Amino acid sequence: MAETSFDVIVIGAGPAGYPCAIRAAQNKLKVACIDEWKNYDGSYAFGGTCLNAGCIPSKALLESSELYHRAQVEFAAHGIRAAGVEIDVATMQKRKAHIVKTSTQGITGLFKSAGVTALQGHGRLLAGHKVEYTAADGTKQELTAKHVVLASGSSPMELKSVPFDGKTVVDSWGALEFTEVPKRLGVIGAGVIGLELGSVWRRLGAEVVVLEAMEQFLFIADQQVAKEALKHFKKQGLDIRLGAKVSGAEHGKGGVTLHYADGAGEKSVTVDKVVVAVGRRPFTTGLLGTDTGIELDERGFIKVDHECRTGATNVWAVGDVVRGPMLAHKGKEEGVVVADLIAGLTAEVNYRTIPSVIYTAPEIAWVGQTEEQVKASGRPYKVGSFPFMASGRARAMEAPAGFAKVIAATDDDEILGVHVIGPMAGELIAEAVLAMEYSASTEDLQRTIHAHPTLSEALHEAALAADKRAIDFPNK
């Protein structure tokens, strides 16, 4: 590599790092982005967890498994007889691999067209915002930069009592690579990954037991939504056991026996494969040299202020490696904002309007506060809900489950939170995000024309229901 001096060096090319590098280049800065991600076959790939082992491959399998499920269970209601529907896991995995490859190669192309120097290998921050770059062949080089952005992401948490072995006990990446449908699958953790990947393999025919330590299901979501979700997941055959504290795993000829305790005492369940999905931790292994001035908090996150500045001059950190939700779009926004701040532009991340989506069926999506949070804040509020069973479009789609819910302040009508469980919830929530970004009131949503018949009318009607003015459903 001829060039060793840059305006900005970004370490990590996941959804936080690569947009940061591209935006910095758009801002006419000289940029390098270093990434060490290696796939199971040893090949380097940009895109980080999200593109290689997270968002994209999981959604590819969710889509395939949902289509299989529909063909088997839902087509009949449409008057379509689909006898002998079969799955071919190898083709499903091949399709997924192709989508991943196209996405990660796309980043190489984006770097090229933006003029970002793309470096595959390891980056280590040194004192004085310098970076040591170790290339694939082991050669080391010291690079200088005016600014360094750390975007090293996160890695799965391991349970000491049920350690990964890469074959029977796997992390989320391993669970995306199964070559056949396990007969019995144990999932530890009923969080986002547990529910999404549990759904994939359940729909494809596995008996799925989900062991969740907490008594409360989906504590991060609005509890009315969580209750509705639990009802649907149980109906789909996900055996979700709450308050289950796993104490160990015993490997035997008949599978893996997971031992756990719940309110009723000691229990066990035997399965063929186990996915451990109990959260992720910030990844900083090998990232920081000595005297860099970077501080980690008690959970290992790089400490940053509201603008993602670390304690070290001209060193920034974004994405999963810093506080806040571990979401690709949160990291992307931080990366873009930091690149703009470095260029002297005005920019900020609105942490109050980061949407969350769980890509199960029905989908779950929300933005802003849950009803429990609004209640706890003491601010007087009103709620409007609209069930999808009253939506003509949802009924036409044979997808009438769930509802949209709008929570707003009573005093000034400001929308405080929007929660959707139902068809395409992840797409519908974008309207609520935009509304909240512009501090919209329920009246703004009420007076916005929504096309008919669309699923988005559910949001419209929920906003109307907040003032007991819904048209298509009786007001309570």
Residue numbers of the site for ligand FAD (CB under 6 A)?
11-17, 34-37, 48-50, 54-55, 58, 122-123, 151-154, 172, 193, 283, 286-287, 319-321, 326-329, 331
Strands 169-170 vs 273-276: parallel, antiparallel or unpaired: parallel
Interaction between residue 214 and ligand NAD (CB under 6 A): yes
Window 387 to 446, contacts with ligand NAD (CB under 6 A): none
Closest of 199, 235, 194 to residue 217, by C-alpha: 194
Contact 430, 357 (CB under 8 A): no
Residue 212 engages ligand NAD in binding (rule: CB under 6 A):
yes
Per CB under 6 A, the segment of 38-46, 132-140, 323-331, 376-384 that binds ligand NAD is 323-331
Radius of gyration of the chain (CA): 24
Which of 286, 297, 287, 356 has the alpha carbon at shortest distance from 323?
297
With CB cut-offs between 5 and 8 Å by kind, which of ligand FAD, ligand NAD, none does residue 190 bind? Answer: ligand NAD
Shortest distance, CB of residue 330 to ligand FAD, whole angstroms? 7
Give yes or no for residue 359 binding ligand NAD (CB under 6 A): yes
Strand 130-135 to strand 245-252: parallel, antiparallel, or no bridges (unpaired)? unpaired
123 vs 255 by CB, closer to ligand FAD: 123
- Report 35-64 residues binding ligand NAD (CB under 6 A): none
Q: How far apart are CB 36 and ligand NAD at their closest, in Å?
A: 20
Between 10 and 408, whose beta carbon lies closer to ligand FAD?
Answer: 10
Does residue 279 bind ligand NAD (CB under 6 A)?
yes
Residue 124: Cβ within 10 Å count:
17
Min dist. Cβ of residue 446 to ligand FAD (A):
30
Please state the closest distance from residue 324 (CB atom) to ligand NAD, in A: 10
User: Closest CB to ligand NAD among 61 and 190?
Assistant: 190
Cα 368 from Cα 346, distance rounded (Å): 24
Q: Would you count residue 188 as binding ligand NAD (CB under 6 A)?
A: yes
CA distance 49 to 30: 26
Q: What are phi and psi of 71, to 5 degrees?
A: -60, -40
213 binds, among ligand NAD, ligand FAD, none (CB under 5 to 8 A by kind): ligand NAD
78, 122, 452, 460: the active-site residue: 452
* Residue number with CB closer to ligand FAD (54 or 423): 54
Question: In sequence order, what are the residues at sequence separation of 6 or more whose Cβ sits closer than 8 angstroms to the Cβ of residue 421?
Answer: 225, 228, 229, 362, 363, 364, 365, 401, 402, 403
Of the pair 164, 283, the CB lying nearest ligand FAD is at: 283
* Residue 409 beta carbon to ligand NAD: minimum distance, rounded to whole angstroms: 27
- 139 to 168: interface string for ligand NAD, x by CB under 6 A: --------------------x---------
- Residue 147 vs 202, nearer CB to ligand NAD: 202
* 405, 419 Cβ separation under 8 angstroms: yes
Closest to 370 measured CA to CA, from 233, 236, 224: 224
Strands, E assignment, 63-194: 117-126, 130-135, 140-150, 154-156, 169-170, 184-188
- Residue 190 as a binder of ligand NAD (CB under 6 A): the answer is yes
Q: Which two tokens stand for residue 256?
A: 């893996």
Looking up tokens 């980043």 gives 107
Place of tokens 């009573």: 410
343 binds ligand NAD (CB under 6 A): no
Task: Using DSSP bridges, classify how beta strands 415-422 and 31-35 pair: parallel, antiparallel or unpaired.
Answer: unpaired
User: Which CB sits closer to ligand FAD, 29 or 328?
Assistant: 328
Q: Is 2 exposed, middle or buried (0-12, 13-18, 19+ CB in 10 A)?
A: exposed
Spatial CB neighbours of 67, under 8 Å, sequence gap ≥ 6: none
Minimum distance from residue 141 beta carbon to ligand NAD (Å): 33
Cα–Cα distance, 219 to 216 (Å, whole number): 6
By CB under 6 A, name the one of 24, 56, 193, 367 that touches ligand NAD: 193
Helix and strand element counts for the chain (H, E): 13, 21
- In angstroms, the CA 368 to CA 330 distance is 14
CB of 244 to ligand NAD, least distance (A): 6
Out of 194, 198, 355, 422, the only residue in the binding site for ligand NAD (CB under 6 A) is 194
Q: Which is nearer to ligand FAD, 177 or 305 (CB)?
A: 177
Residues 231-270, interacting with ligand NAD (CB under 6 A) = 246
With CB under 6 A as the contact rule, which of the stretches 65-73, 192-200, 332-340, 450-458 interacts with ligand NAD? 192-200
Which of ligand FAD, ligand NAD, none sits in contact with 198, Cβ below 5 to 8 A by type?
none
Q: Is 452 a known active-site residue?
A: yes
CA distance 341 to 23: 11
Q: How far apart are CA 353 and CA 386, in angstroms?
A: 22
* Contacts to ligand NAD by CB under 6 A: 159, 188-194, 196, 211-214, 246, 277-280, 325-327, 357-359
- Catalogue the active-site residues: 452
